[in-house]
Structure 1
Amino acid sequence: MKRLLYTIAACLLAANLTFAQDAATAPNPKVLPMFGKVAKTEAQQLQDEKFLSSCDKSFTTRTEASNFFMERGWEYLNEGQTDTAMYRFNLAWLLNPDNGDAHWAFGLVTVAKGNPQEAIGYYEKALALKPKNSLLLSDLATCYVTLYEQKPKKKTLSKAVSYLDQSIAADAQNAYAYFTMSKVKYFNKDYNGAWTYLHKGRELNMAGLDYNYLLQLTEKLKDPQGFYKSDETAAQPE
């Protein structure tokens, strides 16, 4: 444990971690995907070199180091510390620009902040590196559904369906793909189909069910299977 803490401290010290910024200035690029995709100053490039050199001394390979910082990023993201998580994801990307999980994480955070159009680019880069990953495919499809909710266009839903078909083909046990396909059916006003896919997802992973969406679907059509009943406040299993 002491060795692990030393590794983290040494690498982050070399990276000169700081989130301080004036409220009137632009967001700190350290907490934006790919460091905001802006050209770095000579001083910033020097910091990057020190960070990479420190990691080279602490890890066997940069791929190992990149995966290490990805794990720390997921931990912070699960704790709700988005900025700290994003900085770790950026460090993982700096160590290995071909780390598909880093691009995936950029997409997840970006769509969560309400920018699905930008997030699609990160997801597609991740997909180029991890083409058969079912969860990634379903996340990209969900991103398209989110984009549709902002700007309803049929072709957007068609893209979602294409990725969902690939996701299910890669892993027929991916409940999230079925839940997202249910939403696609809902937006296409195929409420029976929406219920069919919702139940497929529910049978695989009840925890992944969006209960707000369940209520919306119930308002359009009561559950044909009778598994859920609706009342004034919620839809619940019989």
Structure 2
Amino acid sequence: MKKLLYTIAACLLAATITFAQDATEKPAPKVLPMFGKVVKTEAQQLQDEKFLSSCDKNFTTRTEASNFFMERGWEYLNEGQTDTAMYRFNLAWLLNPDNADAHWAFGLVTVAKGNPEEAVGYYEKALALKPKNSLLLSDLATCYIAMYELKPKNKSLKKAATYVEQSMAADAQNAFAYFTMSKVKFFNKDYSEAWTYLHKGRELNMAAVDYTYLLQLTDKMADPKGFYKNETAVQPE
């Protein structure tokens, strides 16, 4: 355990100086995907090299190091520490620009911050590296749903439908794909089919039901199965 902690400390120490920011500058590049895509100074590039060199000494490969920082990033994200998570995702990307999970994480955080149009680019990069990943496909479909909710355009809804169909084809047990297809049907005003897909998703993973969306659906049409009460749409007893 001590060795692991020393490894983390050594790599992060090499990276820390690079991203020191004036406290008045918000947000700092280190908490933006790909470090904000800004051109780095010569001094920052030198610090990047020191960070990479430190990781080369502490990990067998840069791919291993990249995956290590991705794991730390997911841990921080699950704890709600988004900025710290993004910094770790950036380090993972710096170590391996072709790490699909890093681009996937960039997309997740970006859409969560209310910018699905930017997030699409990260998802598509990840998809190019993992073309058959069902969860990634359903996340991309959900991103297009978010775009549609901000700006109702049929193109976004069609894109969502295309990706969610591919997601279900890749894994018929992906509950999130069914929930997303339910929303596609909902926005197409096919409420009966929306209920059908919602129940399919519920049967696979009831904990993932979006109860805010459930209220919207019950406002349009009562649950044909009577599983959810139309007047409350709360979790069933």
State the TM-score bracket (shorter-chain normalisation).
Answer: over 0.9
Matched, 1:204 2:201: no
Equivalent-residue separation in structure 1 for 2:85 and 2:20 (angstroms): 12
CA distance in 2, matches of 1:68, 1:100: 14
Say if 2:218 and 2:233, in contact at 8 Å, map to a contact too: no
Secondary structure of the 1:230 match is coil
Say whether residues 1:156 and 2:156 are aligned partners: yes
Q: Which residue of 2 aligns with 1:14?
A: 14
Contact 1:228 1:236 in 2 (8 A): yes
Q: Percent same amino acid at aligned positions?
A: 82
| 1:153 Cα deviation after fit | 0.4
How far is the alpha carbon of 1:26 from its aligned partner? 4.1
Is residue 31–residue 84 contact of structure 1 (8 Å, CA) maintained in 2? yes
For residue 170 of structure 1, report the CA deviation from its aligned partner: 0.3
The runs of at least 4 aligned residues of structure 1 exceeding 2 Å deviation read 17-23, 233-238
Q: Distance in 2 between matches of 1:68 and 1:82?
A: 17
Q: How far does residue 234 in structure 1 lie from its aligned partner after superposition? A: 3.5
Output aligned runs, 1:166-185, within 5 Å: 166-185=166-185
Offset from partner CA, 1:192-223 (integer Å, 9 cap, x none): 01000000000000011000111110111000
Separation in structure 2 between the aligned mates of residue 160 and residue 76 of structure 1, nearest angstrom: 29
Deviation at 1:22, TM superposition (A): 2.9
Question: CA contact under 8 A between 2:120 and 2:143: conserved in structure 1?
Answer: yes
Give the whole-Å Cα distance in 1 for the aligned partners of 2:64 and 2:2.
19
- CA RMSD in angstroms, aligned pairs only: 1.2
1:101-122 deviations in whole A, cap 9, x for unaligned? 0000000000000000000000
Aligned partners of 2:214 and 2:26: how far apart in 1? 39
Number of aligned residues: 236
CA distance in 2, matches of 1:21, 1:134: 41
CA deviations over 1:131-153 (Å, ceiling 9, x no partner):
00000000000000000000000
String of CA shifts for 1:33-88, please: whole Å, max 9, x gaps. Answer: 00111110001001100000000000000000000000000000001111100000
| Equivalent position amino acid for 1:211 in 2 | Y
Residue matched to 2:112: 112
Which residue of the partner structure matches residue 165 of structure 2? 165
**1:235, distance to aligned residue in structure 2 (A):** 3.3
1:74 aligns to 2:74 (yes or no): yes
How high is the TM-score relative to the length of structure 1? 0.96
Distance 1:19 1:82 in 2: 18
Whole-Å Cα distance in 1 between the matches of residues 208 and 20 of structure 2?
33
Distance in 2 separating the partners of 1:107 and 1:51: 25
Amino acid at match of 1:43: A
User: Which amino acid in 1 is paired with 2:59?
Assistant: F
8 Å contact kept, 1:21–1:27: no
Instruction: Give distance in 2, aligned partners of 1:138 and 1:57.
Output: 38
Q: Indicate if the aligned counterparts of 1:227 and 1:237 stay in contact, CA closer than 8 A.
A: yes
Aligned partner of residue 218 in structure 2, secondary structure: helix
Q: Normalization by structure 2: what TM-score?
A: 0.97
CA distance in 1 between counterparts of 2:35 and 2:234 reads 43
